Chains A and B, each alone.
Chain A
C-alpha cells in the first residue's frame, strides 16, 4: 500500500497489564505502528488509565491520573492503545472526569479525539490491510466489550487476520458476550465471573480453533486462566503478537517456557 507522505508522531499508551504481564504486546504494537508509517514514542510518565479507581467510585484518583495522562500525551499526533478497555477510558470516559473544569475538559476531549485502539487505528486511520505475517493454524477471536461497544472495534481485527498467511478464523457462536473479566469484578464476584468465563470457554473450545485471540489483556488473562484450569490446550494470544509475527519465539499467555 502507499504510505501517507508525512510520518505522524504516535504515542503508545502501553497499559498497565501489557507493561507488567505481556511486554511483548507493547513491542508488537510498536512494530505494527512503524510498519504503518508512524514514528512511535513511549512517554515515560504513564502508569495506568485509571479504570480501577474510576470503576470503584474514586473519581478524584481517576481525575488525578487523567491529568497526568493529558500532560504526558497531549503533544503527539495520535495516542494508540493496545486495549479497547483502556482506549475506551481515554477516548470515551476521561473527558467526563472534568465536567466541572471546562479547561481540563477541553484538553481531555482533544486528547480523546486523537486516541485510538490499536486495531482500529491501523485499519481506519492508516488504511492498513496486512503486515505480511504468517500463522499456521485456526484461531477464534473474542470481541472485548469496551472495544466493541465504546470504540466500534469489530471488523478491523478480522480484516487484518484475513490477510495473515496460513491463518483461518473460526467464529464462536457468541463472540460478543462478555468473558466475565470486568476488572475488579472478577475478584469481587469470583463465582459469577467463573461461571461466565466457563460459558465463554465452552464456546471457544467448540470452535475447534487451536488459538484464541483478542485485543485486551484483561480478557485474555481471564480466558487463558480458565482454559488452562479446565485443561484445554487452546493457546491464548493478543492479536498484535500474531500480526507482528512474534508467535515463533514467544510462548502463549500462561504457557511459560516449558511448553
Chain B
C-alpha cells in the first residue's frame, strides 16, 4: 500500500473537517467500547485471561523458531505446503506463481490485513487476475477503491448513504427503484453478488488469526462466513500469515480466541471460528485440493530482541483503536498506511521506518486507554515513547522542537536560573493579561491559542510567594 504517513498532520486536519467521516465516527464510536465492557463484565476471569494471553505470546516469541518449525512440519504432514517470504515482494511472487500455475482467473479473498500490507490485489490485477473481496466491508471498499480505515471494521468511515450510492453505481442490472432502508438490504444484495463469485473462484486467499504449531492448523474468525466459503470452495486455498501468528497448542489458541472476540466486538465468540488443516483428504466431502501457507516476515523478525518485540503479541483485535480518543477523532485513513490507531503507531514505524511514520507515535496524548484494554497487555504508550527516543537519537524531529527542548532543558537543570526565568515569565504574562486573566492570542503560542484561550498566571510564582511567606513577609 502507498505510504502516506508523513502527511499525517495534514490528513488528520482534513479528516476532522470531513463531515461524512465525523458523522460515521460519532455514530460508531460508542458501540465497540460498550460491547467490550459488557462482555468483560460477564467473564470474571477476563483479567487473568489477559495475563495468560500475554504469557502465551511471550513464550512463543521467545521460542519462535521452534514453534514455526514444528508448525511447518505438521502442515507438511497434513499434506499442505509452506512458503517462507522474507519481504512483501517475495510474498507477492509466491502468491502470483501459485495462481498462475493453476490458471486462476478470479481469486476470492477473506479479510486480511497482511494482504493489504503486501498489496496483493494490485499485484494480481496487474497480471490479469481478478481479486474479489468477500468481507462485506472490504467488498464495498474494493468498489470504492478505498483502503480499510479500521483493522476489523474496514468500512468504519462510511455511512449508509455511501453504501447505497456505491451499490447503485456498480450493481446496475438490479432494479433502480429498489430501496436500502435497512442494513439487511445491503447485506442481501452483497450476498447474492458474492455467491456467484464464491462458486466461480479458482483460488481462495484468507488471512490467519492463529497458526497452531501442534496441529499445523490455521484459524480464522469471521462474522459473515465469507472466510469459510473462500477457503473451502476453490481448488486452491492460500493462507497469508505473518510469523507472529503462531501459538504452540490448540488450548493456547482457545485461550486467545476467548480474548479476541470479546476485545474486538464484545462477542463471546465470533459467529464463525474455523480451523483448517491441510488439503482435502480422500473421503472428505469438501475442501481445497491444494493448501498453501505463505509465512511473511516483512520486517517483523528485526523487531525480535528489541524493545519493540512486545508489539508482536498483537492479535489484531482493534480494541486499542476502538478506545483511542485520537483515532476516534481523526479516523483510520489519517494514519496513512495499513495499520491505524495505537497498534499502528507502534507497528508502522517498525515496518516502514520511523523516518516516514514519525508522526504516528507522536500523535498520542499517552492517555493510556489503549494499554488498559489490550488483551495481551502491550504497553503501547511506552513503545510509542521508545519511537520518540529513536527519533530524538536520529535528529528526526524538526529543528525548532529540538532547540526549544534544549533551551528548556538548560534552564530546568538549573533551579536558581529556573526560579528567575519562571518568575519573569509569570509576572510578565500576568501583567500583560491584566484584569482579563487570559489571552486570546499570544506570539509563539499559536498552537495553543488557535483553539483555546490561554489562561494567564496568577501573578508571582509559587516559589517566590512561598519564600516571602517563609520570611514572614506575606
B426-453 Cβ-contact flags toward A at 8 Å (1 or 0): 1000000111111010000111101111
Return the contact of B447 from the options A22, A26, A47, A188 (Cβ within 8 A). Answer: A188
- B contact residues, range: 35 or more
Closest A residue by C-beta to B452: A225
- A195 and B445 CA atoms in complex are apart in Å by 18
- A contact residues, range: 35 or more
Given contacts A194-B451, A196-B329, A224-B453, contact A149 B413 (CB under 8 A): no
- The reply on A21 being an interface residue by CB < 8 A is yes
Minimum Cβ distance to chain A for residue B433 (Å): 7
A residues near B433, Cβ cutoff 8 Å:
256
> Are A221 and B455 interface neighbours, CB within 8 A?
yes
B residues near A196, Cβ cutoff 8 Å:
325-326, 329, 365
A49-84 Cβ-contact flags toward B at 8 Å (1 or 0): 010111111110100110010000000000000000
A residues near B391, Cβ cutoff 8 Å:
57
Minimum Cβ distance to chain A for residue B259 (Å): 20
> Are B388 and A26 interface neighbours, CB within 8 A?
no
A residues near B372, Cβ cutoff 8 Å:
149
> Are B369 and A178 interface neighbours, CB within 8 A?
yes
Given contacts A61-B409, A256-B438, contact A26 B325 (CB under 8 A): no
B residues near A197, Cβ cutoff 8 Å:
451-452
- The reply on A168 being an interface residue by CB < 8 A is no
Minimum Cβ distance to chain B for residue A163 (Å): 27
B324-364 residues with Cβ-Cβ distance < 8 A to A are 325-326, 329-330, 362-364
> Are A57 and B425 interface neighbours, CB within 8 A?
no
Given contacts A21-B457, A58-B409, contact A190 B450 (CB under 8 A): yes
Q: Choose the segment among B8-16, B78-86, B92-100, B236-244 that binds chain A (4+ C-beta atoms closer than 8 Å).
A: B8-16
- The reply on A257 being an interface residue by CB < 8 A is yes
- A163 and B412 CA atoms in complex are apart in Å by 39
- A64 and B406 CA atoms in complex are apart in Å by 13
> Are B388 and A23 interface neighbours, CB within 8 A?
no
Given contacts A146-B368, A256-B437, contact A55 B460 (CB under 8 A): no
> Are A14 and B12 interface neighbours, CB within 8 A?
no
- A245 and B9 CA atoms in complex are apart in Å by 44
- A45 and B371 CA atoms in complex are apart in Å by 34
Return the contact of B435 from the options A146, A199, A256 (Cβ within 8 A). Answer: A256
- The reply on A254 being an interface residue by CB < 8 A is yes
> Are B454 and A68 interface neighbours, CB within 8 A?
no
Minimum Cβ distance to chain A for residue B359 (Å): 8
> Are B365 and A188 interface neighbours, CB within 8 A?
no
- The reply on B174 being an interface residue by CB < 8 A is no
- The reply on B397 being an interface residue by CB < 8 A is yes
B residues near A189, Cβ cutoff 8 Å:
9, 12, 362-363
Minimum Cβ distance to chain A for residue B174 (Å): 39
> Are A259 and B437 interface neighbours, CB within 8 A?
yes
Return the contact of A254 from the options B367, B392, B401, B437 (Cβ within 8 A). Answer: B437
Given contacts A42-B466, A195-B16, A229-B453, contact A19 B461 (CB under 8 A): yes
A1-25 residues with Cβ-Cβ distance < 8 A to B are 14, 16, 18-24
A157-197 residues with Cβ-Cβ distance < 8 A to B are 176-178, 180-183, 185-197
- The reply on A134 being an interface residue by CB < 8 A is no
Question: Can you list 5 pairs linking A and B with CB atoms under 8 Å apart?
Answer: A26-B466, A27-B462, A47-B412, A57-B385, A150-B368
- Which 8 pairs between the two chains have the least Cβ-Cβ distance? A256-B437, A182-B365, A194-B451, A225-B452, A254-B455, A187-B447, A57-B392, A57-B388
